[in-house]
Amino acid sequence: NAGVTQTPKFRILKIGQSMTLQCTQDMNHNYMYWYRQDPGMGLKLIYYSVGAGITDKGEVPNGYNVSRSTTEDFPLRLELAAPSQTSVYFCASSSAGAIQGHEQYFGPGTRLTVT
């Protein structure tokens, strides 16, 4: 299993540009999450999904959009990039089953710089 994969690893955007961060998991997990991690800080939840076709906002959803058309994929869309969106973005998934203890599996992250 590849686990959780994210592309790209690095990206530089100009203010006002748009882009999509890709996230794919091959563990058949229902739950998927997008976080951002600002320098020296913890992870803040942007959006999450509890299954295909179901998404909901986290703590910091402004400026982002998501979709979940399949169990495997959970892309994050930035429509009008702003310098405040400079961050490292992590995608994660979990089965949410009690046996698994809700462990989250993380992708390697995408470092995004908006200038």
Partner 1 sequence: AQTVTQSQPEMSVQEAETVTLSCTYDTSESDYYLFWYKQPPSRQMILVIRQEAYKQQNATENRFSVNFQKAAKSFSLKISDSQLGDAAMYFCAYSGTSGTYKYIFGTGTRLKVLA
Footprint of partner 1 (CB under 8 A): 31, 33, 35, 40-45, 48, 50, 56, 58, 88, 90, 92, 94, 96, 98, 101-104, 106, 108-109
Checking DSSP bridges between strand 4-7 and strand 19-25, what pairing results, if any?
antiparallel
**Choice between 65 and 95, CB closer to partner 1:** 95
Torsion of CA 88, 10, 103, 56, to 10 degrees: 70
**Choice between 17 and 100, CB closer to partner 1:** 100
| φ, ψ (nearest 5 deg) of residue 89 | -110, 130
Q: How far is the CB of 27 from partner 1 (least distance, A)?
A: 14
Q: How far is the CB of 108 from partner 1 (least distance, A)?
A: 6
Token pair in block for residue 53: 């076709």
**Choice between 13 and 89, CB closer to partner 1:** 89
| φ, ψ (nearest 5 deg) of residue 48 | -145, 165
